[in-house]
Each structure stands twice: as structure tokens, then as C-alpha cells.
Chain A
Amino acid sequence: MHCQSLPGVRTRHRNIDIMIIRENTEGEYSSLEHENVPGVVECLKIITKTKSLRIADYAFRTARAKGRGRVTAVHKANIMVCVDGSLFLECCKEVAGGYPEITFDSMIVDNTTMQLVSRPQQFDVMVMPNLYGNVVSNVCAGLVGGPGLVPGANYGEDYAVFETGTRNTGKSIANQNTANPTAMLLASCLLLDHLRLHAYASMIRRAILSTVSETRLHTADLGGQGSTSEVVRSVMSAVQSTGPLTLSI
């Protein structure tokens, strides 16, 4: 997930630009629970070397590709000595060795959240296991303006799925033409980038950013009264005004 401060959106913190890379297949979400004795439930958190190396590798490759200088691993190794410390953190350190131009450091998750709400500008790329990833991505999404603005991308060996970053369904505001389409639209730009259709991706992204910077078009989640259809129309006309590549509708 890429959390970036957007122009025209007023938030408590400015100049945030954090890439969050969250391991999405194991960890605390392994869904392995059992009740051995009535009243005592055990839930297993599994961390494997293969997946830790894989996610660390992805993080560093992405950092290098995007020219980012620092990767921070988020963990709780002082308490979960084996899973977070000996395994996850060690895997990250191992991969870091192969990318000498990128600074690698680590931070304990509770300190991370505290730092995020006081000085989020210090973070660049962050990599972490599943649960902390959930927490940190939601904190960052909140910091840049909320769930309506942040796109998310899920990458696998054979598939890639793009969606809104915080995965909220927004049941309470469904079908009222008040939802903020920005997150979904930006996610579609990530899809275009993934398909290497960069020209289209940039064109649409520029149109979205110019729309979001106009306060009068802000939807309810940003404190405005604009409607979903107005925002979409504005993005479409911004796209159409960029040149002969677009079809007039």
C-alpha cells in the first residue's frame, strides 16, 4: 500500500510518503485455532523462512525499483523472540545484505505506531508480517486522509489483485452517491502500471490528483459535499482535455 499526502486534502501531518509491504498469507491470520480444554483457546501464528525471505525480497526489489532509500522492518522481537526475531527479522537482514545501497533498520511495532502519529515523515518503505501490516496500513491510511484515498495492491506468484487499501465495504453509505471513488481509481492506475500501460496510468492519475486538489469536489469523507458522480465526471473531463489519445464520449 502506498500512503501519500495528496494535494488539497487537509490532514494533521504533511509530506507523508510511505510504502507499506505487508506479508499477506501467513502470520497471525493463519486461521489455525483450537480449543483443547473448554475455556482455553489457542490461536497459532506461523512464520516461515520461505515466505519471510520472499516478502523481504519483494520489499527490497520494490525499494530499489522505485529509488527508495530506506526499508524498515516492523516487528515485536523483544517478546516474540523466535517468530519475529530469529526468523522474520533475520530473513530481512539476510536480504538487506544484497542491497547495500538501501538502508535497513527495524522498529518495534508499538514504537512504530507512536512514531507514525508524531512524525510519519521519517518512514520510507516498511515491511512486516500480517497483523502489524494490518495495523500500520490502517494508521497510515488514516494519516493521509482516510480510506477513500488510499489504493492497495496484492501481488502473488501468478495473480495480482488491486483494490481499495483498507478494504472497507462502506455498507452504511452504499448507494447514496457519496462514496469517494479516489481509492478505487488510483488502484486501477496501479493495475495499468502493472500491465505496463504507463502512459494511461499517468494520464488518469494526473486527472485524479487534479480533481482531489479541488476542495469543492471533496466527498463527505473529506469533509465536503461533493458526490461520487461529480468526482468521476471531473476526472473524465480532465482526462479528455489531455489530448488525442482519448476517445470523446
Chain B
Amino acid sequence: MAGKAWRSSILNLLRQWGLSLNGKDKIKAQEVSRVVGALMKDTPQPRTFTRGIQTVTLIPGDGIGPEISTAVMEIFDAAKAPIQWEERNVTAIQGPGGKWMIPPDAKESMDRNKIGLKGPLKTPIAAGHPSMNLLLRKTFDLYANVRPCVSIEGYKTPYTDVNLVTIRENTEGEYSGIEHLIVDGVVQSIKLITEQASQRIAEYAFEYARNNQRASVTAVHKANIMRMSDGLFLRKCREAAENHKDVKFTEMYLDTVCLNMVQDPTQFDVLVMPNLYGDILSDLCAGLIGGLGVTPSGNIGANGVAIFESVHGTAPDIAGKDMANPTALLLSAVMMLRHMGLHGHAKKIETACFDIIRDKKVLTKDLGGNSKCSEFTGAICQRVRDLD
């Protein structure tokens, strides 16, 4: 590698270890857990590290996906983040044997790069093929969905000081998709809980808590009613707690969590739970901080794969009209940077984004303003450059 690239890759390595040559982007302990924390302690050495630049698979998505992806790319460009984007499309195609799968070039790109950023994908209610999100999940075994929910200064909601993380098991549980018609008028759906998946997610939750200096992990369940299934899940969480004595472990019933969450969300830290409860609670928490338009999300898979995504819908009614809010995708991209160890750039972009929201001069319609997406993006780009 040429001189400049050698230097920047050394700098990146040092940043990963929390050191820096010029003191500028020294990672402080409390920063790591701020807003969108790093997901893994030992960031795997990126496979595609050519000339200090990490290649990331970008899936723009449908509806407003392309516009917000462009916005994120512009902001990353302004921040001079060492990221190269490889755009891929994920429309379902039918492989040999009639099995639905994602296009092979998308799969190959993700397998190579390991890190992905995804915009919103359409989930058809009756289109003959399963939802794309589900396919991605199955293809890369994305077992953990991590959603940090932190109140955004400048975007007021009735709830302030929210600072929690929901970790949801994302492969089994109630969403196994196994349904049968038993007799006419009686339908059953099977909720599957396995020891392996429960153990994996419990271990992940405690590792996350440890790596991000979070004080406690709470398992959310309904083991009083679903004795065997949630009981198994709880047992695995308890076992994982034994191996991580430095993190406090509590258990709480789902209904109690809901009741307390809307009265006082500050009492919660990291929450770990099976699929359905995770779906409901993570959206509940997103609602507390302002909705899906401002909530980041990351999916961790086996083999070091991680896909960060915006979790809002495709908003077909505003697609193509330059009205979309790129905040959710941007914050997810910041989460991605932290996962890759690029804390300096992450902090810069995040600060710029929050500053613009706090200033309230240029805001998209859903945030209460009437600026265009391009204006909002431009303001953030400018702030990023100013922060340099």
C-alpha cells in the first residue's frame, strides 16, 4: 500500500484500540454507549480493506429508499468517511426448485463485505413470495435485532431521558411462519423456541451490555403463561447471566414492562426478548423517542455479517418528492461506523445530525419543518464540514 494509505490504515487500527495520535478522536468510555453504541468489541478485520477504504454493501430499497440512501452517501462524502458503497438490489427471485431467494450478486457482495446498509423494503401482504426482510434474515441468519432508543435533544416527545436498547431474537419464536388449518374454522400457529437460538441471543445481549458499558440486562417474557417455551428462553438467559456476573440481570413479565415503560422508561437499560415481544416493544420504544423516522437499527448475523437498516416503511406517498427524512438511515449508518471502529467519523456525523435537528431551522416535514430532504441533507453536510 502507498504511504498515505498505510498511514490511514494504522490510524484506523489505533482508533479501534481507543488510541489516537493527535488526541482528536480519542474514544471516551461514555461515548461508546452514547446513542448508537458499537456492537462488537473485537471488530473483525474488514475483508475488503483496500487503500484504507472499507467497502459496504448498500441496498437502497423501495419508495423513499433511493433518496435517503443518496442523502447518506452525500453526508458520508462530506465527512470523508473511508467507505466505498457497492449498490445491490434485492428483489426476490425464484431459484431452482421453486425456492425464493435473494439475487446471487447481492448475496455474494454481502458475504464478501460482511457489512451492509439497507433502506426500507416493501413487504407485500399477498404477493406469492415471502417478505424480502424475512428472506434477508434467513439468508444471513440475522439472529439479533438491536435497536438503541435514546431521546433526541431537539425533537420533543412526551418522554424525555429515554436511554435503552432492545435486543430481539429475530429468527424464531412466533414468527416461524408455521400455520395450519386444523379443521374448518380452527387455525393454529406454532411458536418455536429452541435452546440454541435462546442461548445465542442471551449471550449476545450480555456481550453487548459488557462492550457498551450498560449496567443491566432485563429478560422480557411470559413464562407464567407459556411455561415451557418462555421458560426455556428464561433459563438460557439465566445461564448467560451466570457467565456475565458483571452485568446485572433481572426478569420481568411482558405486561409489567409495557405498564412501566409508558410511565417511566428511565428504569430500563438493555432488554432481551423473543421475536414477537421484541417486535412490539422495540416499536413501542421507537414511539417513545419520536417514531421510526428517527430510530436506528442493526441486525447481527452469524459469520460476522451485520446489516444496519432504517426500520420505517417505504412511504410510497412521498417517494420521489424530496420530502423524505434520512435521519433513521443516517443514524443506522452511524451505528455501522461504530461497529467498524470508525468512532471519529461516527461522532462527527451524529453530532452534525443532532445539531441540525436541535437548531430547528431546516427540518423535514415529519420533524415539524417544511424543508426538503435535499436541504436537510445539505445542512448536515455543511455542519459536518464545519466540524472538521
Question: Which A residues are closer than 8 A to B by beta carbons?
Answer: 12-13, 28-29, 31, 33-35, 38-50, 76-83, 85-87, 109-111, 113-118, 131-132, 134-135, 137-139, 141-143, 146-147, 166, 168
Question: Which B residues are closer than 8 A to A by beta carbons?
Answer: 123, 125, 131, 157-159, 174-175, 177, 179-182, 184-196, 222, 225-229, 232, 254-256, 258-263, 276, 279-284, 286-288, 291-292
With both chains docked as a complex, state the minimum distance between the C-beta of A113 and any C-beta of chain B, in angstroms: 4
Complex A-B: 19 CB contacts under 8 Å: A12-B158, A12-B159, A31-B227, A33-B228, A41-B192, A42-B229, A43-B228, A48-B185, A49-B184, A78-B131, A113-B258, A113-B280, A117-B159, A138-B258, A139-B259, A139-B284, A146-B259, A166-B255, A168-B259
Contact B188 A83 (CB under 8 A): yes
A47-B187 contact given A79-B177, A146-B263, CB 8 Å threshold? yes
With both chains docked as a complex, state the minimum distance between the C-beta of A141 and any C-beta of chain B, in angstroms: 6
Contacting residues, chain B, for A49 (C-beta < 8 A)? 184-186
Once the chains are docked, how many angstroms separate the CA of A40 from the CA of B188?
18
Once the chains are docked, how many angstroms separate the CA of A34 from the CA of B184?
24
A43-B287 contact given A138-B255, A141-B259, CB 8 Å threshold? no
Once the chains are docked, how many angstroms separate the CA of A28 from the CA of B224?
12
Contacting residues, chain A, for B185 (C-beta < 8 A)? 48-50, 87
Which chain A residue has the least Cβ–Cβ distance from B190?
A42
Contact A45 B284 (CB under 8 A): no
A28-B254 contact given A12-B159, A50-B185, A113-B280, CB 8 Å threshold? no
Contact B193 A45 (CB under 8 A): no
Contact B193 A43 (CB under 8 A): yes
Q: Counting chain B CB atoms within 10 Å of each CB, which of A46, A78, A82, A116 scores highest?
A: A82
With both chains docked as a complex, state the minimum distance between the C-beta of B180 and any C-beta of chain A, in angstroms: 8
Contacting residues, chain B, for A111 (C-beta < 8 A)? 283
B193 is contacted by which of A41, A87, A118, A146 (Cβ under 8 Å)? A41
Contact A42 B192 (CB under 8 A): yes
Contacting residues, chain B, for A29 (C-beta < 8 A)? 225-226
A138 is contacted by which of B186, B188, B256, B283 (Cβ under 8 Å)? B256
Contact B255 A35 (CB under 8 A): no
With both chains docked as a complex, state the minimum distance between the C-beta of A43 and any C-beta of chain B, in angstroms: 4
B187 is contacted by which of A41, A83, A141, A142 (Cβ under 8 Å)? A83
With both chains docked as a complex, state the minimum distance between the C-beta of A93 and any C-beta of chain B, in angstroms: 14
Contact B261 A142 (CB under 8 A): yes
A87-B187 contact given A81-B179, A82-B181, A117-B262, CB 8 Å threshold? yes
Contacting residues, chain B, for A109 (C-beta < 8 A)? 279-280
Once the chains are docked, how many angstroms separate the CA of A147 from the CA of B288?
20
Which chain A residue has the least Cβ–Cβ distance from B260?
A142
With both chains docked as a complex, state the minimum distance between the C-beta of B44 and any C-beta of chain A, in angstroms: 29
Contact B225 A117 (CB under 8 A): no
Contacting residues, chain B, for A83 (C-beta < 8 A)? 179, 187-189
Contacting residues, chain A, for B177 (C-beta < 8 A)? 79
With both chains docked as a complex, state the minimum distance between the C-beta of B138 and any C-beta of chain A, in angstroms: 14
Contact B194 A114 (CB under 8 A): no
Q: From DSSP, what is the main secondary structure of chain B's interface residues? A: mixed
Contact A43 B226 (CB under 8 A): yes
A114 is contacted by which of B158, B182, B229, B286 (Cβ under 8 Å)? B286
Once the chains are docked, how many angstroms separate the CA of A106 from the CA of B254?
23
With both chains docked as a complex, state the minimum distance between the C-beta of B160 and any C-beta of chain A, in angstroms: 10
With both chains docked as a complex, state the minimum distance between the C-beta of A75 and any C-beta of chain B, in angstroms: 12
Contact B229 A43 (CB under 8 A): yes
Q: Knowing that A83-B188, A135-B280 touch, tell me 5 more A-B residue pairs with CB under 8 angstroms.
A: A42-B190, A46-B186, A46-B187, A76-B279, A134-B222
A45-B189 contact given A31-B225, A118-B291, CB 8 Å threshold? yes
Contact A80 B258 (CB under 8 A): no
Q: Counting chain B CB atoms within 10 Å of each CB, which of A13, A43, A114 scores highest?
A: A43
Q: Counting chain A CB atoms within 10 Å of each CB, which of B159, B196, B280 scores highest?
A: B280
Contact A78 B125 (CB under 8 A): yes
Contact B175 A79 (CB under 8 A): yes
A82-B179 contact given A43-B228, A135-B258, CB 8 Å threshold? yes
Once the chains are docked, how many angstroms separate the CA of A49 from the CA of B188?
11
Contacting residues, chain B, for A78 (C-beta < 8 A)? 123, 125, 131
Which chain B residue has the least Cβ–Cβ distance from A114?
B287
With both chains docked as a complex, state the minimum distance between the C-beta of A214 and any C-beta of chain B, in angstroms: 21
Once the chains are docked, how many angstroms separate the CA of A10 from the CA of B383?
40
Contacting residues, chain B, for A34 (C-beta < 8 A)? 228
Which chain A residue has the least Cβ–Cβ distance from B196?
A39
A-B residue pairs, 4 tightest by C-beta: A114-B287, A49-B185, A39-B195, A142-B262
A41-B225 contact given A46-B187, A50-B185, CB 8 Å threshold? no
Contacting residues, chain A, for B174 (C-beta < 8 A)? 28, 45, 79-80
Contacting residues, chain A, for B232 (C-beta < 8 A)? 39, 41
